[in-house]
Chain A
Amino acid sequence: MRKLILTTTATIALGAVSASAEEVRVYNWSDYIDEELLTRFEEETGLDLIYDVFDSNEVLETKMLAGGSGYDVVVPTGTFLQRQISAGAFQKLDPAKLPNLDNMWDVVEQRTAQYDPDNAYSINYMWGTTGIGVNVGKVTELLGEDAPVDSLDLIFNPENMEKLAGCGVHFLDAPAEMIPAALKYIGEDPDSHDPDVIARVEEVYAPIRPYIQKFHSSEYINALANGDICVAVGWSGDILQARDRADEAGNGVEIAYNAPKEGAQMWFDQMAIPTDAPNPDGAHKFLNFIMDAQNMAAASNYVYYANGNKASQEYLIEDVIDDPAIYPSQEAMDNLFTTTPYPAKVQRVVTRLWTKIKSGT
């Protein structure tokens, strides 16, 4: 979080120095890039880069639907992208301005086409899974050596949660991911849009709710790394970043990430250009810069997320390309599921249910 503030301050300072040059405004997730890349982009293109960050799809979507956000490149997740495309929020990409499109990975493109047919509006930036991060020392101390750290049982079984509550458990504040996970746990279709099926999630959360300290989508990185909490349901790369921050701090905290063996949700963060982007040319330059094999590899090497860029794979460090938590094996890939956006009426049911779950009322 400190990093987030610094980034924002740096961005403001950057913007103030030379407002005269041509600007490209990028709105990306927090802790999601190697900041050296930002400087490199400015050096290579001579454009001024304004880089802002967010930590929830909802915030981004509200800006997109309000219109006039002023951003040239934004990074929604697949399901949100799909809805925003149908609201007319994005413009089609111009392949002529994106020579690096050849670097993209067909395996990922096939999956993202589910949200953005023909990948006409977006390119994949990174992808990952939603899973469980644990403080290995504390969890084994509380649940023993055979703690089910790679299973949804760890977080949805009240017996386990009761023991873990004392040292802190955080869940993502993202109903579109936490509800599918609970449905998977009770053996339902995680992508169900049937309100009656979705309602069953309440039975899963009610008994464990007292043991969840917080629902939040970015605080858990630092909280895990500092040893403030011992379990977080979160995004793969974020938890791996927490692992590295704990290593760097040398505070004796050991963090591990697992995609639940019952099946984990796979998501794709897509870069797209808003319809009303002030500088679509600059936006294309930024996308092309990101799709450069070495640049994309640098970003993945820094944030520990897999990307949709085949050519970048030869530049990835072993810690990234050989880590099954980042690039899962084919067998593990088959165990991952994707979801589709909720229609408006179901969305209201989902949000209401989520508020009820979170507030306990």
Chain B
Amino acid sequence: MRRATLILVPYLWLLALFLVPFVIVLKISLSDTALAIPPYTPTLDFGAGWQGIRDFFSQLDLENFWFLSTDDLYWKAYLSSVKIAAIATFLTLLAGYPIAYGMANAPDHWRPTLMLLVILPFWTSFLIRVYSWMGILSGEGYLNQFLMWTGLISQPLTILNTPIAVYIGIVYTYLPFMILPIYAALERMDASLLEAAEDLGCSRFKAFWLITIPLSRNGIIAGCFLVFIPTIGEFVIPSLLGGSRTLMIGKVLWEEFFNNRDWPVASAVAVILLLILIVPIILFQRNEQKQREAEG
């Protein structure tokens, strides 16, 4: 009985926070637009009894999904989002691994402080942090002023409103999600393994490559998924830091919803985005489970 209750709680949670919203979105994706409040039809009318419910279902169709497949804009946007997310994840890994490595090798009494420094940015609103990057990267911004002061450049660099700014924003925002799982994996590593390797004549670099990296693999995989999955649907960073040329599915969804007032097509875009994300989410789950089993 107690076991059943324990299982019930997370499932109820999933039902309320995931399944119900998803069914609503799915329902809207099968509807048609209308100039009304809310701007789609049909809406469920329980007052009309069974007939009303039958009418309601008979009016739903897959037309919007058909429409998505006929316009290459959507495929380009999905592909471009996956590409940007993949590159950004790789860059975050490059930036995050050395930090996690340094933290794991720091003296014990430093670690809580270093951990705090990684988490500290979360105390400020995400939006304000992205806004401050606009101030740093703009033509007359701090970065350009600094570079011109050092004499490295004579003309300000155009960084804001380019894909580079989007990558900077994503790497900055998601860095803690990469650092923490890698740090957790590295911290658990047995340091005597490295000593043994050294005793047996292995160079430090080779030992790192043959021992440290494989042992932190689970942390790397977890970190990559934690960055990759939310980045695909990212909207705020590309719209604030990116130019209009950065095509991401989050922005396309926004335009369908706000500019076209086409909630049904916007919902269809969201449903497909979710289907695309299910693949990496399942892989992530598998990895976590394997890790638990290996430890268990």
Contacts and interface: CB of A to CB of B under 8 A. Distances in A.
A5 B71 contact: no
Contacts of B259: 58, 175, 351, 354
A361 B246 CA distance: 11
B140 A228 contact: yes
Nearest to B258: A58
A275 to B, nearest CB: 8
B128 A5 contact: yes
Contact of B252 (A89, A173, A275, A355): A355
B163 interface: no
Contacts of B138: 223, 226, 228
B209 interface: no
Interface string A221-235: 001001111000000
B131 A351 contact: no
Nearest to A357: B244
Given A214-B244, A228-B140, A65 B258 contact: no
B153 interface: no
B255 A355 contact: yes
Interface in A326-361: 344, 347-348, 351-352, 354-356, 358-361
A223 B158 CA distance: 13
B35 A66 contact: no
Interface residues of A, number: 41
Given A65-B261, A351-B259, A359 B140 contact: no
Interface in B52-92: 71, 73, 76
Query: At the interface, is chain B mostly helix, strand, loop or mixed?
Result: loop
B243 A214 contact: yes
Contact of B140 (A173, A213, A227, A360): A227
Interface stretch (B36-44, B113-121, B212-220): B36-44
Interface residues of B, number: 28
A59 interface: yes
Nearest to A210: B245
Contact of B73 (A61, A62, A347, A352): A352
Given A5-B128, A348-B262, A212 B244 contact: yes
Interface in B26-42: 33, 35-39
Contacts of B243: 213-214
Interface in A164-190: 168, 173, 175
Contact of B36 (A61, A88, A175): A88
Given A88-B37, A359-B245, 16 more contacts: A62-B261, A64-B37, A66-B37, A88-B36, A175-B259, A212-B244, A223-B138, A344-B33, A344-B35, A347-B261, A351-B259, A352-B71, A355-B73, A359-B244, A359-B247, A361-B247
